[in-house]
Amino acid sequence: MVRERYRQQLVELQAATVAMGHDAAQRLTEAVGLLRRPNEASIRRLMEGDDAIDSQYLEIERRCLDLFALQQPVAGDLRLIAASFKISTDIERVADLALNLAQYAQDLHVQLASLPDPEEFFELGRHAHRMLEDALRAYDLADADAALSVIHADAEADRTFWALTHGLVSALMRTCQLAAELPEDTASGTVGMILAIRDLERAADHAVNIAARTLYLVRGQSDYI
């Protein structure tokens, strides 16, 4: 009976971590959408929902500490608990990035029009979301090959990040050359856009971290941690 309860606790820990991850990924997508169509009520709802993510994170942390202290896990069980603990931290940081994006939307400190192709920004958001969902699926199924696919997908996120950033900086330089004084809204909007792009790239990096922890879980080691 005790052993069955222990196994159930491990299952519940993994399920709670995956559920938290899905919530954070959804929040990221909603926040990106708010940069296209700001909506005060939706922004407020997303910001207020951050407390729920924090509560999930603290609950997962508690589960991990209880399992460490009371069950003295070894081998694969130990790796699962350690990986879940680390993965929940990455998920919580993704939720924080979504909060950043919602803040940019609220303050209107982004200028999509300053991008040569605004849709490329939204594609980066979709790519980061796919990476997160794929990383969570790999963790849930303990699938090393799927985890590696997420890690390799990061190259595309990096490429888009640098292309968007270079395009923004080039456009800003052209504006500076043509104008005697750079308008304040142009400067703040460009900075806000660069921050938004950076946050999406960081979200993709957290997906890579989740995948790397999954490799550690499955193989007992990972070259990507």
Q: How far, in whole angstroms, is CA 150 from its chain's centroid? A: 13
DSSP structural state of residue 112: G
Q: 36-46 pLDDT, tens per residue?
A: 999 999 999 99
Q: Measured between alpha carbons, how far is 27 from 127 in angstroms, rounded to an integer?
A: 14
Q: Measured between alpha carbons, how far is 78 from 67 in angstroms, rounded to an integer?
A: 9
Structural domains in the chain plus CATH codes: 2-219 (1.20.58.220)
User: Other CB atoms closer than 10 Å to residue 35's CB: what's the count?
Assistant: 21
Does the structure show a pLDDT above 70 at 194? yes
Q: Which helix (H) or strand (E) covers residue 158, if one does?
A: helix 144-178
Q: What is the pLDDT of residue 162?
A: 95
Q: 78-110 pLDDT, tens per residue?
A: 999 999 999 999 999 999 999 999 999 888 667
State the average pLDDT over residues 169-192. 68
